[in-house]
């Protein structure tokens, strides 16, 4: 994992406080990594040595956990996070076609962010909206029964909002 940008000083201070808060907690590795990503929106690789030292683990162990879970972002996400549910119910209802449509229309692979940093595309595994599969989440809002045309319309609205901001 290598950072493509440097975390801001405030973010480093926040991460440092989280590391201290988790230092003596049993089984703190995953909760700490999630807490840092929850606060910063991503998990800067430059924090690995500090986390390893605080938890009494090797850098390789921390890095191994980060590498194992693709949910840990290696760079800050775009201003809008577009997540397509790829879990069972949504797959059965066409999320693979939706994912293909999203990749094509956004020009992004999963886990990529657009060059203008407006959008990040990610998979997600069940949004708790299985009855309305296939589902996606855009930022904090879940959209059910999504199809490629509705997806494109949603993205146009997002981009229109960006242009008007
Ligand atoms: S499987 Fe997609 S919302 Fe549950």
Half-sphere exposure of 59 (CA within 13 A, CB side): 7
pLDDT digits (tens, 9 = 90+) for 59-99: 999 999 999 998 899 899 999 999 999 999 999 999 999 99
Dihedral sign computed on CA atoms, order 56, 12, 42, 5: negative
Asked if the model's pLDDT at residue 8 lies above 90, the reply is no
**Block residue for tokens 């194992």:** 68
Give the DSSP per-residue string, 8-45: PHHHHHHHHHHHHHHTT-TT-HHHHHHHHHHHHSS--G
Q: Is 113 left (phi over 0), alpha (psi -120 to 50) or beta?
A: beta
165 pLDDT exceeds 80?
A: no
102-123 confidence digits (pLDDT tens): 999 999 999 999 999 999 999 9
Cβ-Cβ contacts under 8 Å for 109 (sequence gap 6 or more): 103, 121
- Residues with a CB atom less than 6 Å from ligand 1: 85, 87-90, 126-127, 129-130, 133, 135
Does position 160 have pLDDT exceeding 90, yes or no?
no
For residue 97, report the distance from its CA to the centre of ligand 1, in Å.
15
Is residue 164 predicted with pLDDT exceeding 90?
no
Report the nearest atom of ligand 1 relative to the CA of 144: 3
Please give the model's pTM, rounded to 2 decimal places. Answer: 0.83
Provide the pLDDT for residue 4: 58
Residue that the structure tokens 């840092």 belong to: 36
pLDDT tens column, 22-72:
999 999 999 999 999 999 999 999 999 999 999 999 999 999 999 999 889
What is the Å distance from ligand 1's center to 122 Cα?
14
Furthest CA-CA distance within the chain: 51
- Can you tell me which atom of ligand 1 is nearest the CA of 90? 2
Is residue 11 over pLDDT 90? no
């Amino acid at each position: 994992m290598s950072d493509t940008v440097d975390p801001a000083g405030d973010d480093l201070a926040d991460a440092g406080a989280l590391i201290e808060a988790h230092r003596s907690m049993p089984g703190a590795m995953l909760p700490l990594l999630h807490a840092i990503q929850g606060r910063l929106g991503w998990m800067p690789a430059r924090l690995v040595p500090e986390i390893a030292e605080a938890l009494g683990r090797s850098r390789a162990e921390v890095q191994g956990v980060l590498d194992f879970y693709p949910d840990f972002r290696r760079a800050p996400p775009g201003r809008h996070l577009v997540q397509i549910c790829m879990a069972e119910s949504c797959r059965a209802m066409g999320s693979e076609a939706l994912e293909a449509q999203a990749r094509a229309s956004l020009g992004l692979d999963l886990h990529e962010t657009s060059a203008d940093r407006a959008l990040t595309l990610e998979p997600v595994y069940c949004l708790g909206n299985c009855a309305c599969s296939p589902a996606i989440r855009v930022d904090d809002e879940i959209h059910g029964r999504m199809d490629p045309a509705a997806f494109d319309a949603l993205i146009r609205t997002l981009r229109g909002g960006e242009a008007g901001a």
